[in-house]
Structures are given as C-alpha cells and as structure tokens.
Copies of this chain bind each other. A is one copy, B any other.
Amino acid sequence: MTTPPKGSGPGPVSLEALFLGPQSENQEFFRSMLEFLIEEHVHWRRDFHPKDHPLLTPKEMRAPEFLATADRMREVLLDLSARLKSTSTPWFSTRYLGHMNSDTLMVSNLAQMAALLYNPNNVTYESSMATSPMEIECGQDFARLMGYDPRTAWGHITSDGTIANYEGLWLARNLKSFPAAAAEIAPELVEDRDPWALANLSIDRSLDLLDVAKRSNQLAEILRRSARGAGAGRFPLGKLLVSSTRHYSWEKAADLLGIGVEQVVRIPVTDRFRMDLNEFQEAVDRLVREKTPILGVVGVVGTTEEGAVDEIDGLVRLRDQYARRGIGFYLHVDAAYGGYGRALFLDSRGTFLPYERLRDAWGKGTERPGPESAVPSREVWAAYRAMSAADSITVDPHKMGYVPYSAGGIAIRDRRLLGLVSYSAAYVFDRDNPLDLNLGSVILEGSKAGATAAGVWAAHRVLPLNRDGYGRIIARTIEGTDHFIRTLRSMREFSAGGERIVCEPLLANPDYNIVCMAFNFKGNPSLARMNRLNEAIYHASSYESGPLYNDKWITSHTELERTIYGDAPRPFLDRLGIDPEEWARVGTVYVLRSVVMHPWLAHTSTYPEKWESYLSIMKGDIDTIVRGSKEVRPPRAGSAPGRRKG
C-alpha cells in the first residue's frame, strides 16, 4: 500500500484545477481519470480467476431478450438525464449565489464514483477493508482540525449534520444520567453527592467516573440503570440551551432522543446574530435557582441564515466557571457549516495562528494579497480557537468541504464518551487502544457507503485541512463576500423603473461568507412594501419563476421574524428607513441571501467583471419588476417555499 500524499507537497494548490468548472473547463482531466478508474475496475473483475467461464457468450448477448433489456436501461437513463438537466440547479455557476452550494471537488466526485463500483460498506471492517480505514483517517482529520488531541479524540463521517447533531446529543444525554445511575449501583464511587450534585457533575468528572466504573466492572450494570438502559425519563436530564436562530434539527433531536421539544430553551441573539451570552448566563442562573439541571448548550459556528459565529470562547469560559461552581453541562458546537473554516487559522503543522500573524499573513503567498477588510475579526478568531474545548463538534464535508451529498461528520474530544453508546466491548474505547474499525457498533447509523468515505478522504488528501489547503479556498470565499458587500455599498442608490432604489447588506462585516441584503424604494417607510419588493426580486431570481436554466442569476431568501430575532435586525432596518414601530407592527423582514461559496469570485482575472455584471443583472431585474408594477404585487399564492430546511 502506497503512502497517500499528505498535501504538504511543493507549491500552493491551484484552486481552478480542483473543479470541473462552470463551463466544464477541466473536462479533459475529469474524463480521462474516470476512464482510467473504470478501466481499473473492469480489469479487477477480469483478473479474479480469469479462467472461470464467462457469464454468457457473445451470441447470448445478441438475443432479443438481452437487447430489449439493454434498450430499457438506456431508455430509463435517458429519461433520468433529461430530468436532471431540465430541473437541476446550476450550483456550479457563479451566477448561482443562493444556498450553501457551489461546484464540488473533482477528486471527490471521481473517488466516490470509483469506490461505488467496489461497493464497500463501512458498517464493519470486513465489508470495507479499503474505506473503513479512510473513514477513521477522516475522523482523525476532523479531530485535528478542531484542535483536539488525535490520540484521545475520535471522529467519523455521518450521513449528514443532522445525524451528527443527534449523536452529540445522544452522548450528552447518556452521560447526564450516568452519575445518578452510578449512585444506585456503586454509591462508593460518587461519595456522598446528593441528586442535585449528581445531575450537575462536570463532563470531565463524569468521564472519570465512567473510567472507574469500567475498571471495577460495574459499567454495564450502571448503564442498565441510566438513560441508555432505563429510558430518558429515569432521571431529570434538564434543559438544552440553543440560540433562538438554531437549525430546526435541534427540535427534531430533542424529540427523537426522548428528551422532549419542550426542554429546548431558546437564547436570544445579539445584533451580530450570535447567541447573546448575557441572556445565556441569565437563563442558566434562572434554571439553577429553579433547581433544573442543564443538559447542555449548543454553540453554532456558521448559522444557516446569516453565517454568524457564536462566541464559543465565551461559552467555554462560562461552562468552566459554572463547572467550578458545581453546575456541569455539555458543550456541543454545531459547525456543520463553519467547521472547515477552522482551516483558515491552522498552519501546516496544525498550530492555531496568533491573531497578529493571521492578519499579517492574510492572502500572502497568493497572486495578490487579500484586502485587510476581509480578515476575520478578532472575535471570530477567538471563537474558532476555543472550539478545541467543546465536547463534540458537527462538521459537514458536503458544505464547506466541497464534496457531493451527503457527507456529514462529527468530532468528539474524549473518545471515552463512546462507551455510553457502544454495542461492542467497552475496553475498545480505552484511551490506549487502537481505534475500532467496526463502526456500526459505536455510531447511530448501520450500513453506510464506503464510497462517501472515499470521497471525503480523497478531498482531504489533496487539500490539507489548514491554510495551505481548505484554508485557501475558504479565504477566497471570505474575500469574495467582502468584495460583494463593498460593491453593494458602493452602488447603494440607483434608479429602476423610474424609482430610486436603495440597498443595504444585513451586516457590513459578516462573520463568514453569507451576504443577506434587502432593497427598498428610497424614502419608503412601509416594511410591508419593502418586503413585497424583495419577495418579487427573489421570485424573479429563483426556481419559483420557472426553469432555473433561463435565469440570469439565482439567489435564495430568508425571513427574519421578530419572534425569533427580537430586535437584532433593527440597525439594518434603520439604514433602510424602516422605523422601530413599523418593525414591531409587521414583525418580519424578507431578505435576499447569497452564500458565497465559489472560490473564484476573488483573485481570478475576471472577477471584477463578474461582480459588475452580477450587479447590473440584479439592477436590470429590479428595473423590470418596478416597471411591471409600481405597486409591486406579491408572487402567486402558495408558492412560498418557507425557510431553507437544509
């Protein structure tokens, strides 16, 4: 077995070489590699006992039944291809700036296609001797990316981020009930702690307790009395604290795991759309006063709608403070979207850069240095740095990992946690044991495609998870975001359909690479009228107005509701001329949302032109809309697709 290139080879990666490209520019590489990989597989089959009789003779292959079956397969595949072509979203195009999608890495597509033919199943090592080790290796990549110690941490690939969130909560839930169950079986292990102290044992102490129980052969019996054995209702699990803008999968998670949706406490956000830590602290204090335990808190790195990065450093600080006061809870970070972004801050040895070095080195080593305005803020840097202190982290390769659907992932700081959910021998999760390759017995899922692991693995081997690899792509998307916003702000006011139109980004300097924005008629104080304008723009530039293939640009949208966002959007509305009373009355603002995932929207020879043409297309559409109806009508009833459910 050859050693894979670790991506630390000579010279920087060419981002343009990584993708098939918006006009299939790299089709020659793609086709020739695919042909080679198919050839490899075909001969792998031929070479296995080549003297065996073939399945059928050439004559049999000319029989009418045989040919009719081939015709039928061809007919179905043509139909499939026609359907894909006529309705798929052109994610690959720089004209698409909507959801968390762009082109995906050629190497990952090719790896998946090749592995698909061998059809490995990563549920057990026996069924996937090539791809199980790749999944374990990707898990170690995730762990290193998050700043965990790969000797004691663990990670793996999930079918998506929702499943990774479930896994994090499963670990938290089973651990939360462990001390109280231990007190029943082995009171000597928990000294004379009362039920409140047991329900509030810190994560590290709970894990130590797990260790002791294992050594004294009491683990199995304790687990039988804990949530795992006796159900989620056996001991009070307490509340799960999440930001009010959380992904709806957290409610699903609380439902699925038998915790109950009503146990989810929503913490308001600041005007940066991050969890408000004062509000968090107040919520914790209130729960402590009420003697309600806290199961855990979820910090989000890269919210779905605004790309906001919660202050993980603040959450870690508070978590540690409370733990010292005897109030322990679990900290999970949902970095499904933002997780790969941590590569921005890691040098080739995996060291997290000091802020000054990050700023000084920004864009160095590329054709032209990136603008200082694009450098992540010190707050974002600090949040990313602190992720290494979280108990578990969700990260989705099919988002900022640029691999095809569906591939999520999870990293776990201390793999002793696996003892709480495993269906294999407990000693496997001792810190000094090699990692188990039989994944099915320690994860939520069962059978799982080894091809997915091959796709993620190949991407990681080409692009290391640091500044030389993924960091380079992601830096460019952040520069593209910065450029987008600066171009937007520079045009600010323009004419369309005989009206003066203004435009504002939700934030002048978002935490990551999502731009939310709204247009308004200059001087219009009506939020309802402004909402109708933006709704009409979205309608014209999305699948709602017919086949996307005819669209000149494509965006997505979101609605910020006052019941969820509180007054966070007020500064934005102020700039658009909407006053606080109007906001309180209408209670929702419709914004256009562009995720800037294409890495070549900055630093390529044609990018200024791209932005210019993008903006002029937008203006043209708005002109048509305003001209068509001075009092803009809402789009046809029943077509509103609601919030993105990704």
B17 and A445 form a contact (CB under 8 A)? no
| A286 interface contact, C-beta 8 A | no
| A377 interface contact, C-beta 8 A | no
A23 and B52 form a contact (CB under 8 A)? yes
A53 → chain B closest CB, angstroms = 5
By CB atoms of chain B within 10 A, which of A72, A224, A228 has the most?
A72
Task: Identify which of B91, B120, B224 contacts A119 (C-beta below 8 A).
Answer: B91
A83 and B1 form a contact (CB under 8 A)? yes
A17 and B52 form a contact (CB under 8 A)? no
Task: Identify which of B33, B259, B610 contacts A74 (C-beta below 8 A).
Answer: B33
A55 and B25 form a contact (CB under 8 A)? yes
B458 and A77 form a contact (CB under 8 A)? yes
A257 and B260 form a contact (CB under 8 A)? no
B444 and A93 form a contact (CB under 8 A)? no
A367 → chain B closest CB, angstroms = 10
A16 and B127 form a contact (CB under 8 A)? no
A262 and B77 form a contact (CB under 8 A)? no
Task: Identify which of B9, B258, B448, B606 contacts A160 (C-beta below 8 A).
Answer: B448
| A385 interface contact, C-beta 8 A | no
Q: A92 — which chain B residues lie within 8 A by C-beta?
A: 45
Nearest B residue to A91 by beta-carbon distance? Answer: B119
Among A247-255, A277-285, A621-629, the stretch that binds chain B is A247-255
A80 and B114 form a contact (CB under 8 A)? yes
Nearest B residue to A227 by beta-carbon distance? Answer: B258
Given A162-B447, A462-B72, A127:B646 Cβ within 8 A: yes
| Separation of A238 and B639 alpha carbons in the complex (Å) | 43
Within 8 A of B (CB), among A60-95: 60-61, 63-66, 68-70, 72-95
Q: How large is the interface on A (under 10, 10 to 19, 20 to 34, 35 or more residues)?
A: 35 or more
| Separation of A163 and B1 alpha carbons in the complex (Å) | 34
| A644 interface contact, C-beta 8 A | yes
A104 → chain B closest CB, angstroms = 6
A130 and B55 form a contact (CB under 8 A)? no
B224 and A261 form a contact (CB under 8 A)? yes
A44 → chain B closest CB, angstroms = 5
A231 and B258 form a contact (CB under 8 A)? yes
Nearest B residue to A3 by beta-carbon distance? Answer: B79
- Residue interface bits A597-614, CB-to-B below 8 A is 1, else 0: 000100011100110000
Q: A2-B78, A121-B398 are in contact. List 15 more A-B contacts (CB 8 A).
A: A4-B76, A10-B68, A16-B56, A20-B117, A21-B56, A29-B73, A41-B84, A77-B111, A83-B130, A89-B127, A127-B646, A228-B260, A252-B423, A256-B256, A405-B450
